[in-house]
Amino acid sequence: MNSDIRFYWSLFLKRLPLMAVVFVMCSALGVGLAMTLPSRYTATARLLLESPQIPDELAASTVRTSATERLQIIEQRLLTRANLIDIANEFSVFSGSGRMTPDEVVTAMRDLTAIRTTSSRGGATFMNISFRATTSQLSAEVANEFVTLVLSADSTRRQGLAEQTLDFFEEDVRRLDEQLSLESAAIAGFKEANQDALPENLAFRIDRLSRLQDLVVAATRDRASLSEQRTRMMIIGATARGPQLSPERQELRDVKEELERALTIYSETNPRVKVLQARIAQLTASVSSEDPSAQEEVTDPTQALFALDLADIDRRLEFLDARVLSAEAEIKELREAIDKTPENAIRLESLERDYQNTLSQYNGAVSNLARAQTGERIEVLSKGERISVIEQATAPTAPNSPNRPLIAGGGVGLGLLLATALFVLLELTNRAIRRPEDLVKGLSIQPLATIPYLETAGGQARRRALMVILVVALAVGIPVLLWAVHTFYLPLDLVIDRLLGKLGL
């Protein structure tokens, strides 16, 4: 048992320099990181999403976005590439840290920025914006700049949405107003072009048609009565006067009377009427060739009165004929208008239906425009939902990171762990024969004597010197290397973040 302890102790002493190198490397790395990692100050601003100041029942904003969606939109716009680069350049967040590409600046800014939203059902919604920087003042300035961007972007976005809604409904009202004017003009033009056949006057036209038809019937009846009366008067007059006219004149008068009676029954295109008209023309030509002096004229008072009565009847017949012709012409026009009325009614109903539909849309658009104007006014005056600052970011008095004792202790503990693991691993994988027991176990023979490896004093001194130099070089060089990287290339925390990003951690 004692021999085993001495053996493992000798192995420990033999591996001690290598274990010391591993321990020193890890410890130096931990201590170096603890010493060179820059202090990070975290400043936090707190924002509140307030409810509308004017109740929706009285006047509602036209910008409708849920609180979660609204804050997500703000967060994504806040962390855009352009914003992050502008802020980094404005506040010189990475000045003196070596050359960084725009992509590296954007990645680093996003790593240093933390935005957290908290909300509860039926409760208030909050947004916390934090920024880590190498100085407390810088962290507060950048966090407050983010707050300014949030307030400005939210106000601009809501006003822009309200103005877009207002512009849309203004354009919609103008469009519908123009359409109403066109449709109204179309209705007016159609009524003007078909004013004699509009459906609203159909009852009047039907009543007028009935009256005219009655008038024609009455006029025809009156004319027949007058014609009969005239015929009787002519017969009586002829009997009273006796044969005072020449045969041609008497026949001409009789034929004219017969033509008048025929016209009360037949039209002018009737063959009988045409025969009578031809006979009248022939007798007229014969009478006109007679000597006027051969005709006896009777001018007694009775004949004069008879002539006046006959002329009065003729005038009344002419009046009735004219009245019948006028009534028949109007009847024809009324029938044509009545026949066209159903078609015009369908067309007019279609035009008026389109007009009413457009008018309904117009009234709705005017109502929406009024609400849009109110909503736009609410957003301009910031009376709707808004984001307010509960607490501005203030410069912290102490750094929030790194935890230097933890990093240094972690490096030392990791060195001890790796050194121990290295010793165990080397011994488990070493199959060389280093003592008589190993020779007996491996070859199943019993040696007579064993000769150990004896190292000279000079060799031991050189080996120990090299190990001391290596340990000292590692203990000093690793912190110096870390300081150089942090000072001349990139802050160590950003380097670590970049390495973790490449490793997918």
Write the secondary structure of 223-236 as one string of H (helix), E (strand) and C (coil): HHHHHHHHHHHHHH
Phi, psi dihedral angles at 464 (to 5 degrees): -65, -35
Residue 203, number of CB atoms within 10 A of its CB = 9
Burial-class residue 455 by CB neighbours within 10 Å (0-12, 13-18, 19+). Answer: exposed
Q: Are strands 386-391 and 41-50 parallel, antiparallel or unpaired?
A: antiparallel
Q: Is the preceding peptide bond at 491 cis, omega within 30 degrees of 0?
A: no
How much is the pLDDT for 357?
92
How much is the pLDDT for 8?
64
Which residues, in sequence order, are bridge partners of residue 118? 126
Residue that has been written with the tokens 């002829």 in this structure: 238
Burial-class residue 2 by CB neighbours within 10 Å (0-12, 13-18, 19+). Answer: exposed
Cα torsion 15, 21, 25, 28 to 10°: value is: 110
Amino acid, single-letter form, for residue 275: V
3-class state of residue 77 by DSSP? helix
3-class state of residue 486 by DSSP? helix
CB 14 within 8 A of CB 426: no
Q: Would you give the DSSP letter of residue 93? A: T
For residues 237 and 233, what is the distance between their CA atoms, to the nearest angstrom? 6
Residues of the chain with pLDDT under 50: 97, 242-243, 294-299, 504-505
* Every domain of the chain and the residues it spans: 2-37+407-502, 200-368
